[in-house]
Every structure is written in structure tokens, then in C-alpha cells.
């Protein structure tokens, strides 16, 4: 049975954010209908009117998730007037011809299996009753005198599984242990999610301050993310700043119906945040070439502390000097 392919990142796609949950549900239902009836992505007009509303259809066609008759997308087929077609349905989903061919191949395989089972059931129960041994004499061939090896799996020599008492299993880490650490990290950043440290995901150094800030704010979520998701979070940290992201995550946390379990829950709200304002330049520190003995310029204003006392003493000394003249 074919299944409608939906990418794991569809929940945060920009088109999905624009159309909303109701239109996304209609799009998913259209995909299920197309897979069930093998329409190659075509949605008849009566099905579109039965499953959805006109505003939902307009939203899906506006962002390009659905095409009507006369569309300009070169990768999708042209539907009949009133019908619709799902954008890029062919590719992630098999065509009608491919599905029918797979079903025919599976049926042939099943018939062959049943034929083999029937032939096995019709074989004689005892080899002594076969045509090759009509005399009824006992078979004294060496094969009957072969001893049974209790320490092996019925073989003359012990196999690898007998010696190790285990079967070879795939390694949980796809990277060979002979590679240096630098090559392992490079391969892990390019092919699939980042490697794990034990049972914990490895967090990039650029994103670790954000994770620590969220943990300090008692926003405990999982960080099992893909490389492209880490790149997005790193860009959000540079664009918005960690305090703004923590504030947004706190609002999303308290507004959620149930406690979020993954950091992916915060990403849609983070992506909608504006850029952080540019920091004004200050003269708090002078270049090292000026020297540590040079004091920064203080703008005119009311003096306080020691500066005010010194200014008062200088004023008194100036008044005394004038009286002496």
C-alpha cells in the first residue's frame, strides 16, 4: 500500500507557517486521497469542494502547494478545469504505473511461494519410501553416521557466531573507528545528524550559550537536531541575540498546551523575530596604542565624588590668589 510522503521539517516550513494548520490538514488529506486512488497528485473538483473550503484552497494555491488549471509550474501536470494538482507530487511519491508494477511483482512472488509450499507438502515423508530405494533396505550411507556436534550450529567447524556466542550486529555509529577525530566530525557534519556523546547529542560551541541560557531559565527541552537545524539556530543567535531568544522561548513555553519536549518547538517563533538593533559605539575603551595612562574624555556635566571636591579646592585657591593680588 503506498503512503503519502511528508518531510519531517514540514511543520516549520515557511509555506506551512503562512497557510496555517487548517490548510495544512487539507493538503495532507489531498495527498492521502491521491495515494489511495493513484491519481498521480490530481485532485478532482468534487473532492476539493467536499474536503476543503474556498479560503483554504486559495491559501494553498497562493503559496504554490496546490495548482489549479492553467498554472505556470513546469514540473507539474496541467489538471482539468476545476481540478487541482499537488505541487511536486511525483518524485517523493510513486506514480500509478510504478505502484501497479510493484503490486504485480509482489503477486508473482506470492504465487511462487505458494507453489513451493505445495510442492514441499506433496513430497514423501520418508526417504526410504522414495523411488530410489524401492528395495526397502536401510540406507547405510556415511551421511547417517555423521556425528552431531553439540558445541556448534550443526557444522563440522565452529562458526564465528559459535565462538563469540553472538551475531554480528551493525554498529550504532556509522563512522569507522579507524578514522581520526577530525575526519569523523567533518563527516558527521555533512552526512546526517551530529554524532552523539553516549546517549546525549553533541551541541555546537556556537549554540552552547543559548542552550545554557534556556537551561538556566528552566526551559528544559531536547536538542536532538539535524545539521541544518543547528545552522538555523546559529543564524538566529547572531541575528536576534540570546536574551531575545530566551524571552521568546519563555512566552512560547507558557503559551503551550503541553510542555514542549524539543527545541524545534521554539524555532517558528524565533524565525518571526526582528533583527536585534545595532549596538551604539562607545568611547569606553581607548586603543592600546594610546597607552593606559591616558584617561578617556568625559563629557561636560555635573561632577560628583572626588572630582567635585578637587574642583571646589581649585576654586577656593583661585579666590585666595585673587585676594593676594
Give pLDDT tens digits for 100-139.
Answer: 899 999 999 999 999 888 887 776 655 555 555 555 555 5
CB of 245 within 8 A of CB of 210? Answer: yes
Average pLDDT over residues 256-263: 90
For residue 187, the model assigns a pLDDT of 40
Pull the grid cell for residue 223: 536538542
Average per-residue pLDDT for the chain: 76
Q: Which residue is it, cell 510493484?
A: 102
Based on DSSP, count helices (H) and strands (E) in the chain, helices before strands.
12, 5
What pLDDT is recorded for position 131?
Answer: 54
DSSP assigned state of 16: H
286 with 294: CB under 8 angstroms? yes
How is the beta sheet containing 66-68 ordered, strand by strand?
A: 42-43, 84-86, 66-68
pLDDT interval class at 184 (50, 70, 90): very low
Work out the pLDDT band at 190, boundaries 50, 70, 90: very low
In whole angstroms, give the CA distance from residue 3 to residue 309.
83
Show the cell assigned to 26: 487539507
**Can you tell me the distance from the alpha carbon of 265 to that of 220, in angstroms, rounded to the nearest whole number?**
12
Contact present, 218 and 256 (Cβ < 8 Å): no
Q: Show the CA angle centred on residue 110, arms to residues 104 and 113, nearest 5°.
A: 145
Q: Where are the alpha helices (DSSP H) in 38-141?
A: 45-51, 54-63, 96-121
Average pLDDT over residues 216-239: 90
Q: pTM higher than 0.85, yes or no?
A: no
For residue 233 the three cell numbers come to 539556530
Mean pLDDT of 308-324: 70
Amino acid at each position: 500500500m503506498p503512503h503519502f510522503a511528508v518531510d519531517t521539517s514540514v511543520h516549520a516550513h515557511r509555506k506551512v507557517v503562512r497557510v496555517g494548520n487548517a490548510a495544512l490538514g487539507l493538503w495532507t488529506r489531498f495527498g492521502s486521497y491521491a495515494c489511495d486512488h493513484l491519481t498521480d497528485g490530481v485532485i478532482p473538483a468534487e473532492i476539493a469542494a467536499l474536503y476543503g473550503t474556498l479560503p483554504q484552497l486559495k491559501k494553498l494555491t497562493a503559496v504554490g502547494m496546490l495548482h489549479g488549471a492553467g498554472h505556470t509550474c513546469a514540473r507539474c501536470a496541467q489538471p482539468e478545469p476545476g481540478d487541482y494538482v499537488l505541487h511536486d507530487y511525483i518524485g517523493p511519491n510513486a506514480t500509478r504505473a510504478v505502484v501497479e508494477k510493484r503490486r504485480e511483482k509482489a503477486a508473482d512472488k506470492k504465487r511462487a511461494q505458494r507453489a513451493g509450499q505445495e510442492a514441499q507438502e506433496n513430497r514423501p515423508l520418508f526417504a526410504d519410501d522414495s523411488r530410489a530405494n524401492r528395495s526397502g533396505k536401510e540406507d547405510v550411507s556415511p551421511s547417517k553416521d555423521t556425528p552431531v556436534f553439540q558445541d556448534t550450529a550443526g557444522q563440522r567447524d565452529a562458526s564465528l557466531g559459535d565462538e563469540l556466542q553472538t551475531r554480528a550486529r551493525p554498529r550504532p555509529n556509522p563512522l569507522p573507528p579507524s578514522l581520526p577525530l577530525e575526519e569523523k566530525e567533518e563527516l558527521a557534519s555533512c552526512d546526517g545528524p551530529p554524532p552523539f556523546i553516549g546517549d546525549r547529542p553533541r551541541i555546537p560551541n556556537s549554540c552552547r550559550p543559548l542552550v545554557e541560557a534556556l537551561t538556566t531559565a528552566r526551559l528544559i527541552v531536547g536538542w536532538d537536531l539535524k545539521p541544518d537545524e543547528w545552522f538555523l539556530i546559529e543564524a538566529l543567535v547572531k541575528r536576534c541575540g540570546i536574551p531575545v531568544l530566551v524571552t521568546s522561548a519563555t512566552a512560547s513555553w507558557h503559551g503551550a498546551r503541553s510542555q514542549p519536549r524539543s527545541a524545534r518547538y521554539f524555532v517558528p517563533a524565533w524565525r518571526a523575530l526582528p533583527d536585534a538593533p545595532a549596538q551604539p559605539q562607545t568611547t569606553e575603551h581607548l586603543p592600546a596604542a594610546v597607552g593606559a595612562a591616558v584617561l578617556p574624555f568625559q563629557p561636560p556635566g555635573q561632577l560628583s565624588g572626588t572630582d567635585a571636591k578637587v574642583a571646589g579646592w581649585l576654586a577656593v585657591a583661585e579666590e585666595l590668589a585673587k585676594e593676594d593680588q
